[in-house]
Structure 1
């Protein structure tokens, strides 16, 4: 491009030479498209940061099978328990063919272990099971659990038929990941030995906070580049 053309281009933006209506139309159209592209990119980065900083997504129901009996674990809310907060737990226990085994027909026992644990180690919790109604199931084993702190737990459900019922004794092991609680209050509960178990809600992990910061820095860099580009 010649020096004369460069001067003509600069004068167009400096205002020394008036722009025609057509030129202003094209200029505004170009800025509009750039602004729309910037907004879409910023929205994309925002959603990306939000999705990455959510380290505990909801999981599907957990299913175990032992002999002729199957068991499905569900934890409310949304199979995503949080430390220090009450979680409603229920088990849909069925015979082969889909027939439900209610708690009244099963001598069931639930034990909760914090991973990792050694063989023979006493359970952290032994919640009492009650007959509950959940979804399409009636009278199935259920209880409320307050997990003391974030981490991985193993829920063991043992069962054998009461007198007159016919199904094989079973033992299910369900692995559960517990996220940090959203409340700031310390939750206190008793374990099976009567000792107090104290669990504190955990804050957002450091790596998640760092990702959020880097994401917003990236957004700021994009905005500054577009501002500089628009001023050239």
Structure 2
């Protein structure tokens, strides 16, 4: 049995935006296993995670048509933030279907979303508040660069003087 994961758009999911994940399940010889023949479950884990830890998401699988595949397992997934995730697809045959139970694990890298700096957060009362991600101020970036340039100038001047 083989399994291939594809995530729309272009295998490049973005945080906070819906992505369509679909799984092409095939038997030896290339015959497709549709969702109607599989009792499949999808679990999404943020990396790293500890064994036994509950999944971050458990999206509901639905039959989808994608490329040349019809009725294969698919789900809409909204990754909460940028980072690395593991998608685990487990499946057993429904009565009448013939294939061995399986577990596939796929690692997915999620890019920052279009509004990654501004996120909706809930305060202790459950009220919606807007939060800003922490960013370094420009001076905190420029100061080490200027210090490095200053040290470089001093070293070069000392090298010239010692060579004279």
- For Structure 1 versus Structure 2, the TM-score category normalised by the shorter chain is 0.7 to 0.9
Equivalenced residues, count = 129
Cα distance in 2 between the residues matched to 1:98 and 1:201: 48
SS of structure 2 residue aligned to 1:186: strand
Cα distance in 2 between the residues matched to 1:203 and 1:183: 14
Which one has a larger percent helix, Structure 1 or Structure 2?
1
TM-score, normalization by structure 2: 0.72
* 1:187, distance to aligned residue in structure 2 (A): 5.8
Cα distance in 2 between the residues matched to 1:75 and 1:172: 15
* 1:117, distance to aligned residue in structure 2 (A): 0.4
* 1:186, distance to aligned residue in structure 2 (A): 2.8
Matching residue within 37, 48, 62 for 1:116: 48
Matching residue within 79, 100, 104 for 2:32: 100
Matching residue within 6, 10, 22 for 1:78: 10
Cα distance in 2 between the residues matched to 1:85 and 1:201: 18
Q: 1:176 to 1:135 in 2, by over 3 A?
A: same
Matches of residues 213-224 of structure 1 in structure 2 within 5 Å? none
Match of 2:152 in 1: none
Q: 1:161 to 1:115 in 2, by over 3 A?
A: same
Q: 1:113 to 1:201 in 2, by over 3 A?
A: farther
Contact 1:103–1:140 (CA under 8 A) maintained in structure 2: yes
Computed over aligned residues only, the root mean square deviation of the Cα atoms, in angstroms, reads: 2.5
Which one has a larger percent strand, Structure 1 or Structure 2?
2
Q: 1:63-84 CA distances to partner (integer Å, 9 max, x unpaired)? A: xxxxxx1000000111010101
Bigger-Rg structure (1/2): 1
Matching residue within 54, 74, 95 for 1:142: 74
Q: 1:107-132 CA distances to partner (integer Å, 9 max, x unpaired)? A: 00000000000000000000000000
TM-score, normalization by structure 1: 0.51
SS of structure 2 residue aligned to 1:104: helix
Matches of residues 11-26 of structure 1 in structure 2 within 5 Å? none
Matches of residues 1-16 of structure 1 in structure 2 within 5 Å? none
Cα distance in 1 between the residues matched to 2:24 and 2:132: 30
Q: 1:32-75 CA distances to partner (integer Å, 9 max, x unpaired)? A: xxxxxxxxxxxxxxxxxxxxxxxxxxxxxxxxxxxxx1000000
Match of 2:102 in 1: 170
Give runs of ≥4 in structure 1 deviating > 6 Å. Answer: 200-204
The runs of 5 or more residues in structure 1 that have no matched partner are 1-68, 189-199, 205-209, 211-232
SS of structure 1 residue aligned to 2:6: strand
The runs of 5 or more residues in structure 2 that have no matched partner are 122-130, 136-140, 142-164
